[in-house]
Chains A and B, each alone.
Chain A
Amino acid sequence: MTLISVQDLVVRIGDRVIASVPELDVAAGECVAIVGESGSGKTTTLLSMLGLVHGADVSGRITVGDVDVLTASPARLREIRGSRAALVMQSPQAALNPTMRLGTLMRRALARHGVKGADARERAEEGVRAVLLDPEILRRYPHQVSGGQAQRFAIALALALGAQVVLADEPTSALDVTVQAEVVAVLRRLRDERGLAVLLVSHDLALVSTIADRVVVMRDGAVVESGSAAEVFARPGDPYTRELIAAVPALPEPADFDEGEGP
């Protein structure tokens, strides 16, 4: 089942094309990674999925579920943000309001999408357990949790809201290596067990190789190569992709990142 479908997406500021994606589909239970260096347009592509690109002309066609993002009303867009597709950001703690307990944040987010009372409490706890956190964490403030916990909480929030797609923008680059593995393990498990779709933006090919099913390589706003992860890593067709792969010291085997409660 295709959850996100992009056709002929072009994002322009003035005459400059900052992202151009002819075709991109993300299906349930699939992880698609967009890789490329800074400024290659990968984050812009990700943000355009929720109509969050401001100050630029966006053309083409983006559908999230049955919603046409580029023609949807602002109210409809607010409705799908979080509940259909939820964003997980690069810097987990900065993404949490320091004056709000995690539980309050979760409860308000759920209320915004029409889930209240006991139902909300249940979904909050269920979401938190699904990312292997203790529901006790809901009573804490953001400065009382670690980066890895904050990032897993962001994923829990997406699950509680019923999001079928997680849009992850460099979700692990602000975390240290063991914690990265933890977050990746959680994403993989949710993808395999619940059919969660993950659209991942990263410049970290080692990370991408451990989770992505398909890879889209972007450079200067354009897609230079795309295909299954195995194919792209084994036989990179574009010289730029080869450069990117060569820049990674040694790709660890996916087995190194296997699940578990830590190292």
Chain B
Amino acid sequence: MTAPALTTLRRTPLRRLAGVDRLAVAGAVLLGVVVLAALLAPWIAPYPEDGGSATHPLEALLPPSGAHWFGTDQVGRDVLSRVLFGARTSLLIAVAVLAVSGVAGVVLGVVAGYAGGWARDVIMRVTDVFLAFPALLLSLALAVVLQPSVTTVIVAIAVTWWPWYARLTASVAASVATRGFVDSARCLGVPAPLIVLRHVLPNSLTPVLVQLSLDGGGVILTAAALSYLGLGAHEPTSEWGLMVQQGQSLFTTDWWVVTFPGLAILVTAFSFNVLGEGLRARLSR
């Protein structure tokens, strides 16, 4: 009897922050910085016009200095400004992909998981078809067919992303559907759609939320890959993958052009992962 009481006593907010949650907090803070950079880009970027199509041929490829902390690229634009504006593009893609694929996956998954029978079979076989293709290849194929743009990237990634959420939600919802409160809702005369909405859905979301935050980094990496291959964002949009592609041939002479956008991708993907891991540890306790 004493052991559980002690754990309760010890689980004060401060202790929680100091424990496993430090990871989640670190991820959230890091991601918060990226989000702030994205939101405030027009105001905090030293050369806001460089986020777009401006060119300054005379200032091309200047190394990092007091005037250009991250140096300038091959047409003289400030790399720091473009990295800040690039955060907008990357986060927009990440949020849009996660929202579209998350909603589609969760809706289909919860229906499949609760209804079972033929509805589940149909939905799960369709997700199997999508999962049968390597995700990046399917995204590539789609991006090739569509016009290269940010929207294309979002569509191409979302199409390969939702089946994972559908699968995950279906398995969780199927187990939630067997729990007592679902039976008792049925015994109170609650019709099936409301049971799904109010009882099965809210109790199936936790693992999906964790997965969504873990996947944010993956989406940003995939988006960068598509743009790097010339299938996503194009000039003069500031996009990290595109900037890496444009700067890679200069790496030996002008390392800053490729390094800073590369680091931005790394930091953002990392913060999503750390946040997700932290949430998982917190919620599975």
Contacts and interface: CB of A to CB of B under 8 A. Distances in A.
B160 to A, nearest CB: 31
Interface string B197-212: 0110011000000000
B187 A86 contact: yes
Contact of B179 (A87, A94, A157): A94
Interface residues of A, number: 27
B8 interface: no
A161 B179 CA distance: 23
B206 to A, nearest CB: 10
A95 B178 CA distance: 11
A79 B181 contact: no
B131 interface: no
B107 interface: no
Contacts of A98: 181, 203
A198 interface: no
B253 interface: no
B250 to A, nearest CB: 54
Given A81-B189, A97-B185, A112-B188, A91 B180 contact: yes
A13 interface: no
A154 B180 CA distance: 12
A203 to B, nearest CB: 19
B183 to A, nearest CB: 7
A78 B189 contact: yes
B134 interface: no
B66 interface: no
B190 interface: yes
A30 B89 CA distance: 70
A78 B190 contact: yes
Interface centre among A83, A86, A97, A109, by most chain B C-beta atoms within 10 angstroms, is A97
Given A78-B191, A79-B189, A80-B189, A95 B198 contact: no
A94 B189 contact: no
Contacts, number: 58
A97 B189 contact: no
Nearest to A87: B187
Nearest to B191: A78
A99 interface: yes
Contacts of B11: none
Contacts of B199: 97
Given A94-B179, A108-B198, A99 B189 contact: no
B203 A99 contact: yes
Interface centre among B184, B186, B189, B202, by most chain A C-beta atoms within 10 angstroms, is B189
Given A100-B198, A108-B198, A94 B180 contact: yes
A205 B161 CA distance: 56
A82 B187 contact: yes
A157 B189 CA distance: 13
Interface in B176-235: 179-181, 183-191, 198-199, 202-203
A96 B188 CA distance: 12
A77 interface: yes
A243 to B, nearest CB: 31
Interface in A34-51: 50
Given A81-B187, A95-B181, A95-B183, 13 more contacts: A79-B189, A80-B189, A81-B186, A82-B188, A86-B187, A87-B184, A91-B180, A97-B181, A97-B199, A97-B202, A98-B181, A113-B189, A157-B188
Please give me the 6 A-B residue pairs with the lowest Cβ-Cβ distance, nearest first: A94-B180, A78-B189, A81-B189, A82-B188, A87-B187, A95-B180
Interface of B: 179-181, 183-191, 198-199, 202-203
Interface of A: 50, 52, 77-83, 86-87, 89, 91, 94-100, 108-109, 112-113, 154, 157, 161
25 contacts: A50-B187, A52-B187, A78-B191, A81-B186, A81-B187, A82-B188, A83-B189, A86-B187, A86-B188, A87-B184, A94-B179, A94-B180, A95-B180, A95-B181, A96-B181, A97-B181, A98-B203, A99-B203, A100-B202, A109-B188, A109-B190, A112-B189, A112-B190, A113-B189, A157-B188
